[in-house]
Amino acid sequence: MRAETRHQLKQDRFRGATIDAAEKTVHWSVEHKNKLILATIVALIVAVVVVGGWYYLSQQDEKASIEVSHAVRTLDTPLRPAGMPAQPENPSFGSLTERATEARKQFQVIVDKYPHTHSGEIARYFLGLTASQMGDNAAAERELGAVASTHNDDLSALAKFALAAVYRNTDRNKQAIDIYLKLIQRPTRTVGKVAAQVELAETYQSGKQPLEAKRIYEQIQKENPASEAAQLASAKLQELK
């Protein structure tokens, strides 16, 4: 098999695994919101991998990318119903925390082994996500903050988007709002303007600032007529009445 063919297969496998993980690790409270944001999440992960494609010429990074694909597959492993015993022939986890704990171990190994590779940066991003799933907000903030400072704008934006959610979960809405406003002003291929607007509006709404939330939802409607975004904004505006 030619080297470039092997390289493409590895990158395709990594991309597919990463997209699956993105679908499983990002949870949205409204069905229409899920439909709206899912395409953005898929696009942003793919963009990060494509933008960093030249790193895959490095043998170390190719090894790291394979390990990352295995780790994100762990995040894609099904959760079994409560009370159901584990079945060795069908891998599963008993809880979200159990699955996140195992995946986090794998991502940590990658970060330790390949700290200066693009795949290592992606592994660190997933370290932040899994830490958040485990309720370890301090670790999530630390890892996501490190990735947010990377020079790769697409990966940085993705980490900032996740970091804002950590701030919201720890009652620091002002910091979350600051991030969303910057992402709106400077959208990337990984975090679009609408995705940041939706989260900003929900942050205002949860923070008892209904007028600010209303303004953002109306802006989404105006800028995105006849779209899933407009439908979501309309539903949210009804909640504010």
How do residues 91-111 score in pLDDT, each as one tens digit?
898 888 999 999 999 999 999
pLDDT given for residue 82 in this prediction: 83
| Nearest in space to 199 (alpha carbons), one of 41, 43, 22 | 41
Which residues are CB-contacts of 12 (< 8 A; sequence separation ≥ 6)?
Answer: none
Helix, coil or strand: residue 88: coil
pLDDT given for residue 55 in this prediction: 44
At which residue do the structure tokens 């030619």 appear?
Answer: 2
Which tokens go with 40?
């953005």
Torsion over CA of 44, 152, 2 and 70, rounded to 10 degrees?
-60
Q: What is the pTM of this model?
A: 0.75
Other beta carbons less than 10 A from residue 225's beta carbon? 9
Helix, coil or strand: residue 225: coil
What distance lies between CA 178 and its chain's CA centroid? 19
pLDDT given for residue 50 in this prediction: 52
Sequence-distant contacts of 82-85: CB under 8 A, at least 24 apart: none
In angstroms, the CA 170 to CA 142 distance is 14
Question: What is the residue-level pLDDT of the chain in tens, covering all 241 positions?
Answer: 444 444 444 444 444 444 344 434 333 333 444 444 445 555 555 555 555 555 444 677 778 888 988 888 898 888 888 888 888 888 898 888 999 999 999 999 999 999 888 888 999 999 999 999 899 999 999 999 999 999 889 899 999 999 999 999 999 999 999 999 999 999 998 899 999 999 999 999 999 999 999 999 999 999 999 888 889 899 999 988 7
In angstroms, the CA 100 to CA 5 distance is 33
